[in-house]
Amino acid sequence: GPVGLYALAMAIASGAGMTVSIGAPARRIQLAQKWGATHTINLDEAKDPRERIEMVRKWTGGRGADLVIEAAGPVSAFQEGLDMVRRGGRFLVIGQGSKKTIDFSPRRVNLDMLEIIGVLSAHVEHFYKAMQFLKNNLHRFSFADMISNRYPLSQVTTALEEMEALREIK
């Protein structure tokens, strides 16, 4: 989604050699490709999480990703991201709002030497840095392409429903 696309832009601008963007609808994936994602997975095509995990493992020579950023929200995305990160890797969780739980052994953090980082919102200085990133990278990433539709205030419910159904980018 939009947060994942911003994370992709940050990763590319920071020099990531390989980036994998996972999401839907196709317009979001197309935007990720336009911005320079080296690999993409469309959730509408690769519906089985095991298939997506295997794709990431294949692209990383069997190791898994150095850094996984979970920006989606469903608790299943947490589990899937955890299964994509390499031993000794980092897992940044910025999308979790679900109250659901999963079966997870904290011992895995030790055995796989994982660094799991959770984030909820930000401080004022983070918003300032984000605005500076947007300003300084307008030539590199077409941020305006994230706005896939406009709705009048009278259709706010429709707009939210379209976002929830993954029919809009933002």
Query: Could you tell me which residues are beta bridge partners of residue 91?
Result: 68, 116
pLDDT in tens, 44-88: 999 999 999 999 999 999 999 999 999 988 899 999 999 999 999
Q: What pLDDT is attached to residue 14?
A: 96
Q: What pLDDT is attached to residue 66?
A: 97
Helix (H) or strand (E) holding 118: strand 115-118
pLDDT in tens, 8-37: 999 999 999 999 999 988 999 999 999 999
On whether the CB atoms of residues 114 and 89 are closer than 8 A, the answer is yes
Helix (H) or strand (E) holding 42: strand 39-42
Supply 52's token pair. 């997506």
Proportion of the chain above pLDDT 90, given as a percent:
79
User: b or e along 7-21 (b: 16 or more beta carbons within 10 Å of the residue's beta carbon)?
Assistant: bbbebbeeebeebbb
On whether the CB atoms of residues 85 and 91 are closer than 8 A, the answer is yes
Confidence of residue 102 (pLDDT cuts 50, 70, 90): confident
Please give the mean pLDDT across all residues of the chain.
Answer: 93
On whether the CB atoms of residues 29 and 45 are closer than 8 A, the answer is no
Confidence of residue 123 (pLDDT cuts 50, 70, 90): confident
Proportion of the chain above pLDDT 70, given as a percent:
100
Q: What pLDDT is attached to residue 64?
A: 97
The pTM (predicted TM-score) of the whole model is 0.89
Q: What pLDDT is attached to residue 44?
A: 92
Confidence of residue 1 (pLDDT cuts 50, 70, 90): confident
Query: Could you tell me which residues are beta bridge partners of residue 18?
Result: none
Q: What pLDDT is attached to residue 120?
A: 82
Q: What pLDDT is attached to residue 95?
A: 80
